Amino acid sequence: MTEAAGAGRDGVATRSPRAESAAGLRHAAVTVATLGALLALPYATPSLARLRLFQPLPEGVGIAAAARPAAAAAPAATVGEATLVLETHEQADLRQPEEVVLPAAAASAASRERAPRSIEDASGRALDAFYARLAAVDRKEAASVARISYWGDSIVASDYVTATLRRKLQKRFGDAGHGFMLLANAWPGYFHNDVTRFAVPGWQVSRVVGPFAKDGLYGLGGVSFRAEGPGLFSRFGTAKTGSFGRAVSRFVLDYLAHPGGGKFEISVDGERRDTIDTKADQARSATKTYEVPDGPHELEVRALTAGARAFGVWMERDTPGVVLDALGIQGCRIRFLDQTDDAHFAEQLRLRDPSLAVFEYGMNESEDGELYPLDQYEATMKAVLAQVRAALPSGSCLLVGPMDRADKKGNVYTSRPVIPKLAAIQRRVAGEVGCGYFDTFGAMGGTGSMGVWAQRGLGGADLAHPSGVGADVIGTWVYLALMEGYDAYVARAAARRP
């Protein structure tokens, strides 16, 4: 306002200073009132709910945490639950196109013909279990499924990198289903391609990023959903458009049986199918499967009483192929997965039984910088991966390294110095625990690459996330690197046969 008033005084002086001041105040009042009306409109109009500016913070950590400096370490969250205030809907505008066109300016920075980096494997056999499962799928053996559970931060929560990888693997090996989805959107940016989803607001949630569950039980995707009373419901269905996700053979509800458990009603294609009483003597993970003829279907999970608590639903098919669970957790660091009760997390991993566990973290750790000591970062990452390896001794694991991240001053882009340090730690830990490692930072071009990516349409405006096109490039690179390793595995297996 002071600049606007000064500009007025620089004009022809036809009014007294007092009159000018009064006019300025009236102008300010009109501006504030107009702004207030515009901010209020989305609250008065349900169809504009996504435009509401003031929502509970994604991580439920309070205003003080939001005001922390950008380089501060992850804040401590409260214990308890948050109420989801937005409904979950399809968000068709967020869909990743099946064929992503690479801008001409990006061609030299991001070829999609071959992976610029191979998967690093210190043991030489880190991915053999997954490749063996892929080979069974390739031979079309009955009931053979290569299941991938892919954890990550907001890059995965948007299901862009993972959608590209899922589609390419399913096109190559067969579509065995979409995989795991949270019961509702635990964050506004949570999204899944090639599926239809809807949930009413009102679910009470605890998350590994906060607010924390007292019992540490978050399911596979890091979020627990609880009903305070009857009427809350979530729906999951096959995609209505596109080439992927058009059929399902079974829905599986992943829920919690516990002493305070309530009841769920399950409907399939609009007809009531089952009632689940989740009350039990002690807390334990539980699943319930609903078989359907392979084709388009919809499942509804409805709370009948208070205390009904669940984690999510997965969709699969009775055909050889690949399933990929996109387990994105907005604001997450890999160490946050250790918020989960160890026995419960192991139980969830065994129930899902992925042949490949993938972890793509580093963006939020780069926000922490070195305020969270890097030696502790290494130790906690190693502990989480060791826990996963112990729960899935017959599976494989892969770390997808962090992207470059930059800051811009004027026209100069400067990579954050912590990124190569995080990448080096991930590479080292992957080798120590027996996981493969894909060097995203090196594949992008190393230090300085995010500035190039942003200028060529591959990086986001925040210089931390990829654009939709950039996410497609990364997903393609991971696919190509996996296929390079798979082809080598098949060749080795052939050479060993008489």
In 110-153, DSSP assigns E strands to 145-152
Q: Rounded distance, CA 217 to CA 122, Å?
A: 34
The per-residue pLDDT for 113 is: 80
Amino acid at 319: T
* Residues 253 and 274: beta-carbon distance below 8 Å: no
The per-residue pLDDT for 62 is: 26
The per-residue pLDDT for 283 is: 97
| Maximum Cα interatomic distance, the chain, rounded to a whole number of Å | 102
The per-residue pLDDT for 3 is: 35
Is residue 327 within a helix (H) or strand (E), and if so which, with residue range?
strand 321-328
The per-residue pLDDT for 90 is: 81
What's the number of CA atoms in the CB half-sphere (13 Å) around residue 349?
Answer: 28
The per-residue pLDDT for 32 is: 35
384 by Cβ neighbours in 10 Å (0-12 / 13-18 / 19+) ranks as: buried
Q: Which residues are CB-contacts of 263 (< 8 A; sequence separation ≥ 6)?
A: 275, 276, 277, 278, 303, 304, 305, 308
* Residues 287 and 253: beta-carbon distance below 8 Å: yes
- DSSP class of 239: -
Strand partners, 408: 413
What is the pTM (predicted TM-score) of this model? 0.85
Strands 321-328 and 145-152, sheet pairing: parallel
pLDDT tens-digit map of 157-206: 999 999 999 999 999 999 999 999 999 999 988 999 999 999 999 999 99
Q: Rounded distance, CA 55 to CA 58, Å?
A: 8
The per-residue pLDDT for 25 is: 39
The per-residue pLDDT for 14 is: 36
pLDDT tens-digit map of 264-285: 999 999 999 999 999 999 999 9
Strand partners, 199: 88, 234
The per-residue pLDDT for 60 is: 31
* Residues 333 and 154: beta-carbon distance below 8 Å: no
* Residues 466 and 475: beta-carbon distance below 8 Å: no
Q: Which of 352, 368, 327 is nearest to 222 (CA)?
A: 327
Q: Which residues are CB-contacts of 200 (< 8 A; sequence separation ≥ 6)?
A: 87, 231, 232, 233, 234
The per-residue pLDDT for 111 is: 72
* Residues 127 and 398: beta-carbon distance below 8 Å: yes
Amino acid at 391: A
Strand partners, 298: 237
* Residues 29 and 67: beta-carbon distance below 8 Å: no
The per-residue pLDDT for 76 is: 55
Q: Which of 281, 282, 210, 217 is nearest to 254 (CA)?
A: 217
Q: Cis before residue 211, ω within 30 degrees of 0?
A: yes
Q: Which of 312, 316, 285 is nearest to 301 (CA)?
A: 312
Distance from the first to the final alpha carbon of the chain: 84
- DSSP class of 459: B
Q: Rounded distance, CA 63 to CA 26, Å?
A: 32
* Residues 225 and 203: beta-carbon distance below 8 Å: yes
Q: Is 252 helix (H, G, I), strand (E, B) or coil?
A: strand
For residue 412, give both structure tokens: 């100069």
The per-residue pLDDT for 37 is: 41
Domains by residue range for the chain, with CATH: 104-176+320-498 (3.40.50.1110), 181-318 (2.60.120)
| Cα–Cα separations (whole angstroms), residue 71 to 65, 67, 269, 332, 367 | 12, 11, 49, 15, 5
Strand partners, 287: 254
Q: Rounded distance, CA 298 to CA 252, Å?
A: 12
Q: Rounded distance, CA 308 to CA 230, Å?
A: 9
Low-confidence ranges of the chain (pLDDT < 70): 1-76
The per-residue pLDDT for 1 is: 36
- C-alpha torsion sign, points 30, 34, 39, 40: positive
For residue 243, give both structure tokens: 């080439």
